[in-house]
Structure 1
Amino acid sequence: MSVLNNYETIIRRLVEELGYTCSEVKHVLETQYGIERGASTSSIYQFCAARDIHRYDYSRLGREGVNAIVAAVTRSGPVCGRKVMTGMLRAAGFRLGERSVRQAQILMKPVYTQMRREGTASQMNPHVYPAEYVGQQLYMDQNEKLNDFGVTEVLASDSFSGKILGFSVMPIKNNLTIYDEIYRDICLKHGLFDQLSVDYGKEFYLCLYQQDNLQAHRTNINRPPYIQSESRQNQEAERKWVEINARVNDPIKHALCSMTNDGLLDIDDLCTKFCVSSFARRCCTTGIENLIPAWNAHTISRQGIPDVLFANHLKAARITQDLLPPANVLAADYIRHGGSLTHPKVFGNDPLDGQLDLQQQREDIFSTHYPSFENIFYSAVNGHYKVFKDALLTYIDITHRMS
């Protein structure tokens, strides 16, 4: 065990900060530091035990503390199991084990635990999507589960780590919005990926055009700059929709369909359509923004934690901002070369369109009644739809009265 004494700082960081297991620490020491003897899994385990090195900080938090924390995030509803709940806590800065979280969930929300047990098994396809490093392949996909209510979601994730890198919620899918809010943003933050993988939808044409333009700047220039495949082939990004639908979209759709069936919403009215779209998009954005950190911090079986994998294996090619022009500039270039694009549109019609002062006044009035969309969203997630319905009807009423 004496060999490990020289690497205590490294081991402590790997275990306590990055959450590595003993076998993962062993792999790092062998491959990155060339240690061939004295670094077995059992030796590392004994070394960590002797020096009080642990993946999870139980010393600062008793059972009551764990219960209190889990109780605070049970607002996420019945679908959230121990893995994603643990990811939420990690994203919030609490290093807890899945076993403790599971025990707390059973104690604090036994009804939710029973609902998960009685539910169907995970629908995520276990098909393997091999990648050698972060930056090899970026998956993008769109979700139109709430399309009838003016909500379209687009998601992007890294193939190697499974980390969700970006998303956008828009009324109608559009090339310019997807390029600016997802593709360009990811490339500026993390670098240019070797390959972009999408389906055959036209909404990705501007991203594909730029990916083709930048192909000489990639880490591996021998791969095709992009590939397109059928949606039913279950891409990496598509499989995350199962989680997002269960935790975000399904509760919102249930509430909106119920209101429509009860005659509370005239979805054929253009003003109502706009209000429903604007309101639902903000609820979805709230839900996805809260889910992504939890997803990226949770443990994927036989793979690891997306955040950790991404940080340790990033090889995307860094590029300068001048190579990634804004969407309107790139769109003009695309059209000059024979392409055609539609510009972003709203769903329905906003009677206050172009009147920025009245639009701001509408938001101010609404916020006096409902200061937080988080409260509206989590009420729906937990089956308390009255808050969601009353808030939406209030938003519609304010818009009608101001028009």
Structure 2
Amino acid sequence: MGLPDAHLELEVAKAITETGPTYGRRMMKGYLATKGVHAAETRIGAVLRTSHQPYHEARCQGARNLNSTPYRADYMGQKVHMDQNEKLAMFGVTHVVAIDGFSKKIVAHSSMPIKNNLVIYEDVFRPAVLANGMWDQVRVDHGKEFYLTLFMQELLSSYRHNQERRPYLQTSSTRNHVVERIWPEVNNRVNYPLKTALLQLVDQEELDMDENLVRYCVSNLTGQLCHIGLTMVVESWNAHRIPGKGIPNDLAGSGCPKKIPQELLPHSLEAADLYKQHLGSQLTIHSTFGVDPFSTEQDKLTVENQFAEKYSDISDLFFRAVNNDFAPYKEALLHLITTTQRNV
């Protein structure tokens, strides 16, 4: 027996308090599936249209990224696309994702203060390969932040399924077709609500982004909220149905044809040493936004504990922000800044 209408309406209403207005019937179905709630797309769409009309009308009026994509990948593991999103770079958050060209599954993602070779390799490329196997080709733009990833992809190129293809390809960002299409989803569902709140604080002169302590706090809290939101988008995307294709999680199947043992993929510091030995260049190990104001780990722990006493579940800050209630996030951020100032 299917989910009763009343139960479905309650589940959709609860989900909207967490996702905000931008999830349509397909993404909402994917999000509900991640929560163990299953219902037909048509039923979910009907609930969204009738019970939440202002949000439905806003989605209907919103611009869509429907440009044609002259692109083909024949199987999971043929091409993986990696790209960065810097819509929140001025506030110390950059997103990086990796998406399989065939299944359209987002296989890894990370939010970091500033794009960094070691972090991208450690948090995106390495876990994607360990979980799925070696891709025949990594496709990126011309950014320098992918140097370590491309170096390791080439170093391990003999472990690929199809070795006739070049191990990596760098093209302009406008031609990184598959991954570019995910960014409007992330911008609408994560970046723009948080950026709106931050710009309001700047305009009201409550944030001075020229101060290192402020920059550090803004990046820290905003990065954590972005991680919550980006994870929601990724899980929902991977579980939603792409018209004419299928569900990314299903299309990805068991991953790439060629797997690779973990010992061949060293952690980032060791990989950076290999890079220096082979190419003679030193990569930046740490990239921070602002300057860490804490002189001791104890001072840092004190601030974290004091902040947690008032804000034990920061996910609620994100849920409120995406529903256009920016006050809790702004208040929490200012509280973090003043708490930090008292303890350094």
Q: How does 1:39-188 map to 2 (within 5 A)?
A: 59-75=1-17, 76-120=19-63, 122-188=64-130
Residue 183 of structure 2 is aligned to residue 241 of structure 1: yes
Residue 172 of structure 2 is aligned to residue 230 of structure 1: yes
Distance in 2 (CA, whole Å) between partners of 1:316 and 1:186 is 14
Q: 2:201 is aligned with what amino acid?
A: M
Distance in 1 (CA, whole Å) between partners of 2:281 and 2:134 is 23
Quick one: which of 237, 253, 257 aligns to 1:295?
A: 237
Quick one: which of 348, 351, 362 aligns to 2:290?
A: 348
Asked if the contact 1:191–1:319 (Cα under 8 Å) also holds between the matched residues in 2, the reply is yes
4+ residue stretches of structure 1 with deviation over 6 A?
A: none
Q: 1:301 is aligned with what amino acid?
A: P
* 1:349 to partner: Cα distance: 1.4
1:50 equivalent in structure 2: none
Q: 1:330 is aligned with what amino acid?
A: A
* 1:129 to partner: Cα distance: 2.2
2:313 equivalent in structure 1: 372
1:214 equivalent in structure 2: 156
Distance in 2 (CA, whole Å) between partners of 1:81 and 1:339 is 47
* 1:374 to partner: Cα distance: 1.1
The alignment partner of 1:325 has SS state of coil
The alignment partner of 2:138 has SS state of strand
Asked if the contact 1:156–1:182 (Cα under 8 Å) also holds between the matched residues in 2, the reply is yes
Distance in 1 (CA, whole Å) between partners of 2:24 and 2:322 is 14
* 1:291 to partner: Cα distance: 1.3
* 1:60 to partner: Cα distance: 4.1
Q: 1:398 is aligned with what amino acid?
A: T
* 1:299 to partner: Cα distance: 0.5
* 1:114 to partner: Cα distance: 1.4
Kindly provide the CA deviation profile for residues 290-342 of structure 1, in whole angstroms up to 9, marking residues without a partner as x.
Answer: 11111001010111000110116x33311111111111011011112222311
Distance in 1 (CA, whole Å) between partners of 2:332 and 2:300 is 17
Asked if the contact 2:106–2:238 (Cα under 8 Å) also holds between the matched residues in 1, the reply is yes
Asked if the contact 2:213–2:290 (Cα under 8 Å) also holds between the matched residues in 1, the reply is yes
Q: 1:113 is aligned with what amino acid?
A: H
1:390 equivalent in structure 2: 331
Asked if the contact 2:185–2:233 (Cα under 8 Å) also holds between the matched residues in 1, the reply is no
Distance in 2 (CA, whole Å) between partners of 1:68 and 1:298 is 20
Distance in 1 (CA, whole Å) between partners of 2:8 and 2:49 is 12
Distance in 2 (CA, whole Å) between partners of 1:108 and 1:293 is 24
Distance in 2 (CA, whole Å) between partners of 1:158 and 1:184 is 14
2:250 equivalent in structure 1: 308
Query: Highest Rg: 1 or 2?
Result: 1
Kindly provide the CA deviation profile for residues 137-175 of structure 1, in whole angstroms up to 9, marking residues without a partner as x.
Answer: 111000111111111110101000000111111111100
Distance in 2 (CA, whole Å) between partners of 1:250 and 1:389 is 14
Q: 1:318 is aligned with what amino acid?
A: K
Distance in 2 (CA, whole Å) between partners of 1:309 and 1:93 is 20
Distance in 2 (CA, whole Å) between partners of 1:316 and 1:197 is 18
Q: How does 1:186-201 map to 2 (within 5 A)?
A: 186-201=128-143
The alignment partner of 2:182 has SS state of helix
Distance in 2 (CA, whole Å) between partners of 1:340 and 1:202 is 13
Higher relative contact order (CA 8 A, sep 6+): 2
Asked if the contact 1:125–1:234 (Cα under 8 Å) also holds between the matched residues in 2, the reply is no
Q: Indicate the larger mover: 191-200 or 103-112.
A: 103-112
Q: 2:209 is aligned with what amino acid?
A: I
Q: 1:275 is aligned with what amino acid?
A: C
Asked if the contact 2:77–2:257 (Cα under 8 Å) also holds between the matched residues in 1, the reply is yes
* 1:202 to partner: Cα distance: 0.4
* 1:234 to partner: Cα distance: 4.1
- The size of the alignment, in residue pairs, is 342
Distance in 1 (CA, whole Å) between partners of 2:232 and 2:252 is 19
* 1:350 to partner: Cα distance: 2.1
Q: CA RMSD in A?
A: 1.2
Q: 1:104 is aligned with what amino acid?
A: V
Q: 2:102 is aligned with what amino acid?
A: F
Q: Indicate the larger mover: 376-385 or 234-243.
A: 234-243
Asked if the contact 1:286–1:373 (Cα under 8 Å) also holds between the matched residues in 2, the reply is no
TM-score normalized by the length of structure 2: 0.97
Residue 300 of structure 2 is aligned to residue 359 of structure 1: yes
The alignment partner of 1:296 has SS state of helix
* 1:95 to partner: Cα distance: 2.1
The alignment partner of 1:142 has SS state of strand
Asked if the contact 2:137–2:168 (Cα under 8 Å) also holds between the matched residues in 1, the reply is yes
TM-score normalized by the length of structure 1: 0.83
Distance in 2 (CA, whole Å) between partners of 1:326 and 1:316 is 23
Asked if the contact 2:26–2:41 (Cα under 8 Å) also holds between the matched residues in 1, the reply is yes
Distance in 1 (CA, whole Å) between partners of 2:285 and 2:65 is 35
